[in-house]
Structure 1
């Protein structure tokens, strides 16, 4: 049988499992929000951020003479336990919850309090010695703790994502160098355009990622501004006048971040615009990443009835009925991550818009949506690089044949034979199926020496020596 301990709140008393580090407030939240089956412990950066905030608060309240030194030491030790990865399984409330994150804050208060009690040599639930709200939550409100924790976790999430983006970007750079002088046809609106190199095509993908890494770093500056110390609505009620400054200083030291206390805590408590900005940049990256995957699927289509310009590494059988079929499963899964991120951005947008007066009650779904986008994009980048980009090879014979027989090649001859003559050659090539260069040579319209220079990778693509990105 499960042994219990009795705890009480404003609604009455409940039996809590004796070995649980959480308490009655968490128990009620678990019962009230059986929504996703996904606990907040699924996002360890959020749990660690909560513990860092509680640790900084204990240090601040000790420094300000509000918290007994022994209690502060116990709380600090408990927070360090959590930040080291312990007790994460005790953070059990659902990621989607009513109450503007109150259940998450209560869960943190109770786990840290009960672990602190053990450091004091007391039993879990002995709140007369150290209380989850009176001591762990001293000088705080969910309304400044939760958004601050969300910002800290999001910063770490963005940093992890940009690291993964660097891995993927370097993968594209490696391929751009490998394919540096392999000619191919560029396309606009899926029609033949003008020649380029396969290296230029892959270098473009690296540049696209570099741009989004810069935008993400810019977005983290917006979420570095915190409202911790503002308490309920930003007026600092029930908090020491120096708490906000002191707790921010301790929090920066603990997290090794550069957080700033908002100049207007009332505004900062209700404004979710920074989360919308971060989510928007994640959507931007997802859109571009999905476009890249669309290209990879097109370029590898075939092998006989498609473009067949590149080969993606075969990862698994593609069909239960068509023998020998291989599908582009890695780009496909990344496409689906992108679709999810785009949907998450809409959720963040609607949740931020739904705030009323001095508080936004919907930050839990903002957190859930942001963390899903960050973690899934992180995994998608690493998967795409290791299981797809790294193993791509070029079908050089196919690429060369497409350039040789493409009518689009006539564009490069405009400066030498004029638009009218070039148009006539294009029409003849299309009608007869002959190559443009074959017709130009037959008519001796351009000297052979000039023609060879024009048709070189340098002449066709303004190709220069590959430069590091």
Structure 2
């Protein structure tokens, strides 16, 4: 492979000749990689970074800090990334240390090289467009990545938003479908009173709707960002004109209702908005675990379990038992939610370990939220399409269970009172109870 040589204060590096990234990206990829999760695998984040850089370039043009030629070349380069091109040149580990410097420099170098290729036909020389002097003008890694990761989360949420809406509609329809099926309820995993199977599913539908609403509110709160605040919130390095217009420019570029944080020092120091959103995601995951576990129990058997519902068969469940079908889709949902809970713990740790005037772990928090959104969107789709939509009731089994002893004596209690029935139960006088029920 042909190489080119780039130099910085730490020496020389040989980089693939056609690579759009440069030496700072290479150093991050070499020194700080550990997860195997590369930035190029997060297209929403790359697009959001490019949108931030485009808004900054437009603001710098208006402030007279970039020549029309240079500014337009950067804007055009940003448009190419926004359109989905050249994402394979984003090779840094998305979880790298250093407060996100590698992410910011990766996008700076790619944009500089794309702009220079347009202007002079060469890459790797960083003239006339320099990654820091021009692409990063009036910006810091802190406000660029802070803003872009939030835009990426809002954008990524759209898939899960859609899937949760479908899930709620499906559960609501199942609730209506099963409202005429009487079965048994259980408390403490013991027999309780009669209940309509549709009422059980109405509870599932309601919790998903509530958690979806809370999650949506927390996601939308992330549209309050700190672009223009530079490193720690005082805006040093950005002109007054730039700071006045960069948020309106970002609104135009993203078509989102982006606003400026009330306290920009707070924005640099604290990532509790990300932590709050992650908490809502984890609450959704915990609720989905409960629903999926209940469905496993209700479908257990089919002969030696509850067997009140029948879930669709999607594949063989065992390499040992011929014909055995397991609840693999709910189990996949549960495992996906376990992973989301793990991602949330990382986010909370990132909040806890922020120090003084800048939380350098913000990028890791954002990446784990993106991972959680991606996993839940995929598993939620499978859960709805391959499980929930095809669930049917086992009406004969439900009727059998609803006519068992505890549900019946619960109804007798309404006629005789709790104490009288409890006395008969304590005396194990089932014959008297049966006669009273006739």
TM-score (ref. length: structure 2): 0.96
Q: Is the 8 A contact 1:425 1:439 kept in 2?
A: no
**How far apart are residue 421 of structure 1 and its match?**
4.2
CA distance in structure 2 between the aligned counterparts of 1:389 and 1:28, rounded to whole angstroms: 48
**How far apart are residue 157 of structure 1 and its match?**
2.2
CA distance in structure 2 between the aligned counterparts of 1:295 and 1:428, rounded to whole angstroms: 34
CA distance in structure 2 between the aligned counterparts of 1:237 and 1:24, rounded to whole angstroms: 26
Out of 120-129 and 287-296, give the one that drifted further.
120-129
Q: SS in structure 2 opposite 1:223?
A: helix
CA distance in structure 2 between the aligned counterparts of 1:219 and 1:316, rounded to whole angstroms: 37
CA distance in structure 2 between the aligned counterparts of 1:112 and 1:393, rounded to whole angstroms: 54
CA distance in structure 2 between the aligned counterparts of 1:419 and 1:401, rounded to whole angstroms: 25
**How far apart are residue 431 of structure 1 and its match?**
4.5
Which segments of 5 or more consecutive residues in structure 1 lack a partner in the other structure?
443-469
Out of 345-354 and 97-106, give the one that drifted further.
345-354
Distance 1:16 1:431, change over 3 A: same
Q: SS in structure 2 opposite 1:96?
A: coil
Q: Is the 8 A contact 2:424 2:430 kept in 1?
A: no
CA distance in structure 2 between the aligned counterparts of 1:222 and 1:10, rounded to whole angstroms: 41
Distance 1:84 1:256, change over 3 A: same
Partner of 1:461: none
Superimposed CA distance per residue, residues 155-211 of structure 1 (whole angstroms, 9 cap, x where no aligned partner): 122333221111111111121121121111111111111111111111111111110
Which segments of 5 or more consecutive residues in structure 2 lack a partner in the other structure?
none
Partner of 2:435: 439
Q: Is the 8 A contact 2:186 2:192 kept in 1?
A: yes
CA distance in structure 2 between the aligned counterparts of 1:429 and 1:243, rounded to whole angstroms: 83
Report 1:94-109 matches (<5 A): 94-109=93-108
Superimposed CA distance per residue, residues 419-438 of structure 1 (whole angstroms, 9 cap, x where no aligned partner): 34443665688846x9x7x6
CA distance in structure 2 between the aligned counterparts of 1:245 and 1:257, rounded to whole angstroms: 18
Q: SS in structure 1 opposite 2:240?
A: coil
Partner of 2:364: 365
Q: Is the 8 A contact 2:149 2:363 kept in 1?
A: no
Q: SS in structure 2 opposite 1:5?
A: strand
Q: Is the 8 A contact 2:153 2:370 kept in 1?
A: yes
Q: Is the 8 A contact 1:139 1:239 kept in 2?
A: yes
Q: Is the 8 A contact 2:62 2:242 kept in 1?
A: no
Determine whether 1:79 maps to 2:78.
yes
Determine whether 1:394 maps to 2:393.
yes
Partner of 1:62: 61
Report 1:25-424 matches (<5 A): 25-423=24-422
CA distance in structure 1 between the aligned counterparts of 2:425 and 2:322, rounded to whole angstroms: 41
Q: SS in structure 2 opposite 1:86?
A: coil
CA distance in structure 2 between the aligned counterparts of 1:141 and 1:395, rounded to whole angstroms: 61
Superimposed CA distance per residue, residues 408-457 of structure 1 (whole angstroms, 9 cap, x where no aligned partner): 2322333333334443665688846x9x7x63453xxxxxxxxxxxxxxx
Q: Is the 8 A contact 1:407 1:430 kept in 2?
A: no
Q: Is the 8 A contact 2:116 2:127 kept in 1?
A: no
CA distance in structure 2 between the aligned counterparts of 1:81 and 1:138, rounded to whole angstroms: 20
Q: Is the 8 A contact 1:41 1:89 kept in 2?
A: yes
CA distance in structure 1 between the aligned counterparts of 2:77 and 2:264, rounded to whole angstroms: 29
Partner of 1:19: 18
Give the number of aligned pairs: 438
CA distance in structure 2 between the aligned counterparts of 1:196 and 1:174, rounded to whole angstroms: 17
Out of 195-204 and 51-60, give the one that drifted further.
195-204
Out of 194-203 and 295-304, give the one that drifted further.
194-203
**How far apart are residue 123 of structure 1 and its match?**
0.8
Q: SS in structure 1 opposite 2:96?
A: coil
Distance 1:389 1:34, change over 3 A: same
**How far apart are residue 147 of structure 1 and its match?**
1.0
Superimposed CA distance per residue, residues 76-99 of structure 1 (whole angstroms, 9 cap, x where no aligned partner): 111111111111111110121011
Q: SS in structure 1 opposite 2:25?
A: helix
**How far apart are residue 121 of structure 1 and its match?**
4.0
CA root-mean-square deviation:
1.7
**How far apart are residue 12 of structure 1 and its match?**
2.4
